[in-house]
Amino acid sequence: MNAMLETPELPAVFDGVKLAAVAAVLYVIVRCLNLKSPTAPPDLIYQDTALSRFLLKSCPLLTKEYIPPMIWGKSGHIQTALYGKMGRVRSPHPYGLRKYLTMSDGATATFDLFEPLAEHCIREDVTMVICPGIANHSEKQYIRTFVDYAQKNGYRCAVLNHLGALPNIELTSPRMFTYGCTWEFGAMVNYIKKTFPQTQLVVVGFSLGGNIVCKYLGETQANQERVLCCVSVCQGYSALRAQETFMQWDQCRRFYNFLMADNMKKIILSHRQVLFGDSVKQLQTLVDSDLSRLYTATSLMQIDDTIMRKFHGYSSLKEYYEKESCLHYLPRIYVPLMLVNAADDPLVHDSLLSIPRALSEKRENVMFVLPLHGGHLGFFEGAVLFPEPLTWMDKLVVQYTNAICQWERNKSQCSDTEQAASGQE
């Protein structure tokens, strides 16, 4: 009798379980999508100078809220995944000419040259020299989107294709791009300076490309001649310090490490004949045992130790990371330098951000920009679900370089006025 009386209460129990399950799912969604995270202007670290005050006035994006798509844009993982798989939405197809440069070791460097589509804001000849991220090139969607936007703002663009990254370009020597080799980028810059003697340069690097361009500028003072400014986006600054964080499961970095290592293996193996073949044995630094170890590698560090460091004769992985990182070259850069990272970038551990933060606190030419969201090279914008074709990153880089160009023009005009006044006296 008692059992019969208790039976009607069972559906209520089931409803409670369903409600608890729904609440648990919603909690996981809110946590994973980081929906409770606020939107805010980027955190800025800089010295109070006339230039920094001009930049804050001329670049509204530096002081304005960055608002990512509401549903998923606050998740650094989703931003990074969309960048990695999709690149950009409705990406344009800018037309450029591919240039080939023969290096001293027989390697063939390539870059794509894109002419401006409008007059520049200061009516001057300005060229952006661009270094993409790891294993990237001018045909990647995020590069195409940025180049098209820069062209429409009056910039000529030269985009380096990392050695070995283009699937339809064969290697002509047993060497690929590495983490910090500046040879190909330097050859491209020298070509631009020689071909366009009146042009001024804006140096831009994305991710690994940020390391390369900063290292290039700091290698010698001559590399900074005719350079207006430099922008680095989402780099990690020190491979030696980053390698430990890349083996941790925090923020799924170990998983990202595996995915990037797998992609690198595919690129290296696509050039297997040149890198390991019998026809160039006398030039090779790699042996068959390296190929065996490559097949079993599951991290970038293993690939760097087995393959990449040997292209330049480094005796150890530690030496390779120390010499190839831009960390020790950053203080030697004297042109205006903007370093951009995202606080939720799953690839760049928070401890690495102390490097640009400390640098910007000491150097007047450096500004560190750190938005809360954006992931790794994501920085998508949009209202609710669908992102816009242009990202916050694209607009910020162009806005910053426009402001630097205007600053240099104002300085030049003031100098001309002072010289004219002194001549009259």
pLDDT grade for 29, boundaries at 50, 70 and 90:
low
pLDDT tens digits, 54-110: 999 999 999 999 999 988 999 999 999 988 887 788 889 999 999 999 999 999 999
Q: Considering the domain boundaries, does residue 249 fall inside one?
A: no
| Residues 234/345, Cβ–Cβ less than 8 Å | yes
Instruction: Give me the mean pLDDT over the 314-329 stretch.
Output: 96
pLDDT grade for 31, boundaries at 50, 70 and 90:
low
Q: What percent of the chain has pLDDT over 70?
A: 88
The residues, ordered by sequence, that sit 6+ positions from 143 with a Cβ below 8 Å of its Cβ are 130, 132, 136, 137, 159, 206
pLDDT of residue 282: 44
| Residues 232/337, Cβ–Cβ less than 8 Å | yes
pLDDT of residue 356: 98
Extended beta strands in 132-170, E state: 156-161
Paired tokens of 365: 């030419």
pLDDT of residue 276: 84
Q: Considering the domain boundaries, does residue 20 fall inside one?
A: no
The residues, ordered by sequence, that sit 6+ positions from 97 with a Cβ below 8 Å of its Cβ are 112, 113
Q: Considering the domain boundaries, does residue 420 fall inside one?
A: no
Nearest C-alpha neighbor of 152 from the set 367, 415, 389 = 389
**Domain span holding position 100:** 43-238+325-409
* pTM (global) more than 0.75: yes
Mean confidence (pLDDT) of the chain = 90
Paired tokens of 73: 């844009």
Does the pLDDT of residue 163 top 70, yes or no? yes
The top-scoring range by mean pLDDT among 177-186, 380-389, 408-417 is 177-186
Q: Considering the domain boundaries, does residue 270 fall inside one?
A: no
User: What phi-psi label fits residue 205: left (phi over 0), alpha (psi between -120 and 50 degrees) or beta?
Assistant: beta
Does the pLDDT of residue 189 top 90, yes or no? yes
Using CA atoms, how far apart are residues 27 and 35, in angstroms rounded to an integer? 10
Q: How many CA atoms lie within 13 A of 28 on its CB side?
A: 5
Helices 183-195 and 208-219, packing angle to 10 deg = 70
Using CA atoms, how far apart are residues 194 and 196, in angstroms rounded to an integer? 6
Q: How many domains does the chain have?
A: 1
Using CA atoms, how far apart are residues 164 and 70, in angstroms rounded to an integer? 38
The amino acid that residue 303 corresponds to is I
Does the pLDDT of residue 30 top 70, yes or no? no
Q: Any idea which residue has 């800089």 for tokens? A: 46
Q: Considering the domain boundaries, does residue 424 fall inside one?
A: no
Residue 392's SS3 state is helix
pLDDT grade for 290, boundaries at 50, 70 and 90:
confident
Q: Considering the domain boundaries, does residue 245 fall inside one?
A: no
Does the pLDDT of residue 323 top 90, yes or no? yes
Does the pLDDT of residue 304 top 70, yes or no? yes
pLDDT of residue 332: 97
**Element of type H or E holding 291:** helix 288-296
Instruction: Give me the mean pLDDT over the 323-341 stretch.
Output: 97
pLDDT of residue 86: 78
Q: Considering the domain boundaries, does residue 260 fall inside one?
A: no
Instruction: Give me the mean pLDDT over the 325-344 stretch.
Output: 97
Lowest mean pLDDT among 184-193, 280-289, 307-316: 280-289
Residue 75 or 420, more confident:
75
Q: How many CB atoms lie within 10 A of CB 254?
A: 15
Q: What are phi and psi of 260, to 5 degrees?
A: -70, -35
| Residues 326/60, Cβ–Cβ less than 8 Å | no
pLDDT of residue 85: 80
Instruction: Give me the mean pLDDT over the 22-51 stretch.
Output: 76
Residue 23 or 250, more confident:
250
Residue 343 or 279, more confident:
343
> CATH no. for residue 49?
3.40.50.1820
- With the CA atoms of 57, 211, 66 and 144 taken in that order, what torsion angle do they form, in degrees rounded to the nearest 10? 100
pLDDT of residue 425: 58
pLDDT grade for 14, boundaries at 50, 70 and 90:
low
Active-site residue numbers?
207, 345, 376
Q: How many CB atoms lie within 10 A of CB 70?
A: 14
Paired tokens of 141: 């969607």
pLDDT of residue 26: 44
Instruction: Using alpha carbons, list the distances in angstroms from residue 290 to 25, 66, 285, 296.
Output: 47, 46, 10, 10
Paired tokens of 285: 């630094």
Q: Considering the domain boundaries, does residue 107 fall inside one?
A: yes
| Residues 302/268, Cβ–Cβ less than 8 Å | no
pLDDT of residue 27: 44
Between strands 337-340 and 227-233, the pairing is parallel
